[in-house]
Chains A and B, each alone.
Chain A
C-alpha cells in the first residue's frame, strides 16, 4: 500500500494504540456515568435532608473516586503515541486536533480537579449546596472533557471544516463550528456518554444486587437500585436513539463501514436489517477480497432503509456498489477515487519541486488550487485513495464489523430488559426474593464494558484502511521507526495497565466488601 511501510510496524503500532485505548476505556465510562449517579443521589439528600441518602452518596462517591484516580492520565499515553508512532498523521492534522485537545486539557484540569477536591474533602466544610454544585460540576466537566476528545475522533471519521496547506503539509481549521458540530461528532458524543451512563447504572445495580444476596446494606441497595434502574433504563433508551442517529450519520460519512456492519454487499431498496446472523466465506471475490454470505440470518424487512433515511423504499448501497461504483445511483467507483487522489498527489509533487526550484509563481498557483473549495470537494477529499493499490483495499474486515456491531446491539437490548426487571421487582417489593435476577445483575457488571469496547473496535476497525476517512490510510500515517521499539513499549503498557487494573479492582473489591462506613 505504501512503499516503505513495514507491515509489522503498522500492525504493532495499531495494536499498541488499540491496547492503550481499550485499557483507557475501562476507566472512562464509569467516571462519566457514576459522576451523574452520585450527583443525583446527593441532590436527593440535599432536597430531603435524609441522612441515609448522604451515606449512600458517600459510598458511591468512594467507588467513583477510586476509578477516577486510577484512570487519571491513562489517556495521555495515547497522545504520546501520536507523536512517536504516528508522526506523519500528527503533523498532517496538528492544527485540527490542537484546539479541541487544548480545551479538553483546560476543562479537565480546572473544572474536574478543583471540584473533585471539594467533592471529597468538602463534606461538613463547605455548604451543602456548594458541595452539591461541585458534584454536578465534576459530572458535567468529566462529560465535557469527553466531548472534545470525541470531536477530535469524529473529525478522523468525517474530516470537515479544514483546508490543506501544501506549504506546511498540514490541515488548517477554517471553521471551528463545522468541526464541533460535525454530524458524526454530535451523535458519537451522545452515544458514548449515554453508554457510560448505562455502564455505571449496571455497575450500581450489580453491586447493590451483591448486597441483597449477602442480606446486608438492604436500604442502600434498594435505593441504589431505584436510582440505577431508572437512570439505566433512560440511558439505554438514549443509547438506542443516539445509536440510530449515529448510524444515519455513518451511512452518509462512511458508507462502506455502514455496509460492513450489515455485511451488505449488493445495495438494494427496502433493505432489511439483520437482527442476527452467521457469516461464511463464499467463492465470490471483490478484487482479492473474499465476499461473505450468510449461513443463517434473521432479517427485519425494510428496516435498514428506514434507519438510513426514514423511507422504506430508500436505496442502501452495498459494498459492491461502493467499491465498483453504481452509475445509476450516482456512486463513484473507488478506481475513480484512486485516480483523483493520484492527481492530487502529483500536484503535491509538482508543488514540492516548484518550491525547491524557487518557482514561486507555480508554487503559488498550485497552493491556490488547494484553497479552492471546488478542488477540495472534487479532488482533495480523495487524496488518501492515492495510497491504495487496488479498490478492494478500501473494504474493512466485514466479519469484525458485523459481529462487533450485532453483539453490541444485542447486549444493549439485554441491558434494557435488566433495568426494567429490576425496577419492576423493586416496585413489587419482591426484589430480595429474586435470587436468580440478583445473580444475573451481579454477573452483568462486566457486560457493558464488553459492549463499550466492541463499539470502539467497530468504530476504529470498521473504518479501515483509514486513519482519516478518505484522506490518509494508516500505512501512510505511521512513523518510520523500528517495530522492535513499538513491541517493547507494547509490552510495557500491557504490564503497566494490567497492574493498574489489578490495583483498581482489588481496592474496589475491598471497599465494596467493607461497605459504607459513614
Chain B
C-alpha cells in the first residue's frame, strides 16, 4: 500500500514545496492568474459571453434550422 501511495505523496510534496518556496514574482503572477481566471470564467463567460445558439435553441436540429435560415435569407 505504501508503495502505491508513495508516488502520489512525492508528487504532492513536489508541488507543495514548489509553491511554498516560491519567489516574489512567482507569488505575484499566481495572484494575477487566479484573478484573471476568475474574471474570464466567472464573470465574462457567465454574464457577457453566453453561447448565442445554445441560449436560443435546445436541440442541434433547431440550431441547424436557424443557421440554414440565416444562410438562405435573400440579399
A binding-site residues for B, Cβ under 8 Å: 1-4, 62, 65-66, 69-70, 72-73, 76-77, 80-81, 83-85, 87-88, 90-92, 117, 120-122, 125, 166-170, 345, 348-349, 352, 386-387, 389, 476, 479-481, 485, 488-489, 492, 496, 500, 503, 507, 510-511
Residue in A1, A72, A84, A91 whose beta carbon sits within 8 Å of that of B64 in the complex = A91
In the assembled complex, which residues on chain A have CB atoms less than 8 Å from the CB atom of B71?
88, 92, 169, 345, 348, 476
Most buried by B among A65, A80, A166: A80
Bound-state CA distance A2–B72 (Å) is 10
Contact A80 B44 (CB under 8 A): yes
In the assembled complex, which residues on chain B have CB atoms less than 8 Å from the CB atom of A121?
14-15, 17-19
Contact B25 A511 (CB under 8 A): yes
Extra contacts, 18 of them, besides A87-B67, A507-B25 (Cβ < 8 A), are A62-B25, A77-B40, A80-B49, A84-B49, A84-B51, A91-B64, A91-B67, A92-B67, A121-B17, A121-B18, A121-B19, A166-B68, A170-B64, A352-B68, A386-B75, A476-B70, A500-B32, A510-B25
In the assembled complex, which residues on chain A have CB atoms less than 8 Å from the CB atom of B39?
496
Most buried by A among B18, B28, B33, B49: B49
Contact A479 B52 (CB under 8 A): yes
In the assembled complex, which residues on chain B have CB atoms less than 8 Å from the CB atom of A84?
48-52
B binding-site residues for A, Cβ under 8 Å: 14-15, 17-19, 23, 25-26, 28-30, 32-33, 36-37, 39-40, 44-45, 48-54, 60, 63-65, 67-75
Bound-state CA distance A481–B67 (Å) is 14
A-B contact count (CB 8 A): 117
- 25 interchain pairs, CB-CB under 8 A: A2-B75, A3-B74, A3-B75, A66-B29, A70-B36, A72-B36, A73-B37, A77-B44, A80-B45, A84-B48, A84-B50, A87-B67, A88-B70, A91-B64, A117-B14, A120-B26, A121-B14, A121-B17, A167-B64, A169-B64, A169-B65, A476-B71, A500-B36, A507-B29, A511-B25
Most buried by B among A84, A166, A345, A485: A84
Bound-state CA distance A73–B45 (Å) is 12
Contact A66 B25 (CB under 8 A): yes
Contact A83 B26 (CB under 8 A): no
In the assembled complex, which residues on chain B have CB atoms less than 8 Å from the CB atom of A485?
48
Contact B64 A65 (CB under 8 A): no
Contact B52 A65 (CB under 8 A): no
Contact A125 B17 (CB under 8 A): yes
In the assembled complex, which residues on chain B have CB atoms less than 8 Å from the CB atom of A77?
40, 44
Residue in B25, B45, B63, B72 whose beta carbon sits within 8 Å of that of A345 in the complex = B72
In the assembled complex, which residues on chain B have CB atoms less than 8 Å from the CB atom of A3?
73-75
